[in-house]
Structure 1
């Protein structure tokens, strides 16, 4: 979807009285959509899902980007304290049940956002994983809402060409070999033979946190 097509769609949603929001992990590749949205309507709230396990570099980069782009960024987090996020063995859930950890810290807080909005503008790309390749530009989501995926037909080459053209900042961990950056315990540097999402939850046969599997209405 081009900038002009995205602008037209945003205007259509707003003309219909739809309440919009977006989420962002504030990785380098996620900045293209944020930059375009900031040029179209910087009043659209950007929610930052703060799991409590993120790299300090990500927190600092989020603040930098919010200031540079002039966007409204709001933190959202789980209502469950970390000291309660343990399994029967007493270990933190990211070590014993990463799916449930993601559910508590990412899926539940985002589900609550869907209850308050109509359209979730989401930056997934089809080239990132098989799950995302099966998505459509517009898809029903829980609570009678819709997911809108304007970046679905973009690929990594297009993303980084836009970043160069507009001189967008880069996440400081890019230079250290990190390409897909999530929570600190579940993120590692990429090996040359890896696909982008395989550096997350390495060795766990897991490439999605639940936001793009649980929060889609079938």
Structure 2
């Protein structure tokens, strides 16, 4: 979808009285959708899943981008304290059970938001993973929510060109070789032969946190 098509679709949802929200990880590639949304209606809530394991640079970038675009950012956190996020051996879940760690820190906190909204504006791209490649521009999600994927056919080049056109900042860790920045324990620098998201959960049988697998109806 073009920028104008995205804006028109958001305006159409609003005209229908739909309750909209978006989520953002505040990475370099996230800023394009945030910029587009801010130009339509910067009161649309932007939910930030603060797992407690994020890089300080990500929190700083969130604050900088929020202030620059005037975004309505709301932090979401798990109701389970970190002291209780351990298995029976005392190991933190991100070590022993990363799927469960993602579930309690990402998917579960978002469920109440889904239950109170109609449209989830989501920035997934088809070139990021096999699961995302199979997605459609509009898909249903739990609690009767419609997921809207306006960036689905965008790629790294179009993201870069948009950022350059509007002089948008980049996440400071990108210059250090981090092109997909998630939680600190599960993110590493990217090697030349790796794809963008290969640096996440490296060495584990895992490619998604659950937001785009558990919270989408097939």
For the criterion TM > 0.5, the same-fold answer is yes
> For residues 206 and 46 of structure 2, what CA distance do their matches in structure 1 show?
26
- In the TM superposition, residue 17 of structure 1 has moved relative to its aligned partner by 1.0
CA distances 1:128-154 after superposition (whole Å, capped 9, x unpaired): 000000000000000011100000010
Other structure's SS at 2:120 match: strand
2:120 counterpart of 1:120:
yes
Mapping of residues 67-216 of structure 1, within 5 Å? 67-216=67-216
**What residue in structure 2 maps to residue 21 of structure 1?**
21
- In the TM superposition, residue 57 of structure 1 has moved relative to its aligned partner by 0.5
**What residue in structure 2 maps to residue 10 of structure 1?**
10
> For residues 205 and 166 of structure 1, what CA distance do their matches in structure 2 show?
38
Task: Specify every segment of 5 or more residues in structure 2 that has no aligned partner in the other structure, as ranges.
Answer: none
Q: After TM superposition, where is structure 1 displaced by more than 4 Å over at least 4 residues in a row?
A: none
Other structure's SS at 1:173 match: helix
- In the TM superposition, residue 110 of structure 1 has moved relative to its aligned partner by 1.3
> For residues 7 and 158 of structure 2, what CA distance do their matches in structure 1 show?
18
Instruction: State the TM-score, normalized to the length of structure 1.
Output: 0.99
Other structure's SS at 2:47 match: strand
> For residues 41 and 210 of structure 2, what CA distance do their matches in structure 1 show?
28
> For residues 99 and 193 of structure 1, what CA distance do their matches in structure 2 show?
26
CA distances 1:30-49 after superposition (whole Å, capped 9, x unpaired): 10000011011111010110
Instruction: State the TM-score, normalized to the length of structure 2.
Output: 0.99
> For residues 116 and 87 of structure 1, what CA distance do their matches in structure 2 show?
32
**What residue in structure 1 maps to residue 63 of structure 2?**
63
- In the TM superposition, residue 217 of structure 1 has moved relative to its aligned partner by 1.4
- In the TM superposition, residue 165 of structure 1 has moved relative to its aligned partner by 0.9
Other structure's SS at 1:174 match: helix
2:43 counterpart of 1:35:
no
> For residues 155 and 206 of structure 1, what CA distance do their matches in structure 2 show?
22
> For residues 68 and 139 of structure 1, what CA distance do their matches in structure 2 show?
31
> For residues 36 and 102 of structure 1, what CA distance do their matches in structure 2 show?
28
Task: Specify every segment of 5 or more residues in structure 1 that has no aligned partner in the other structure, as ranges.
Answer: none
- In the TM superposition, residue 51 of structure 1 has moved relative to its aligned partner by 0.2
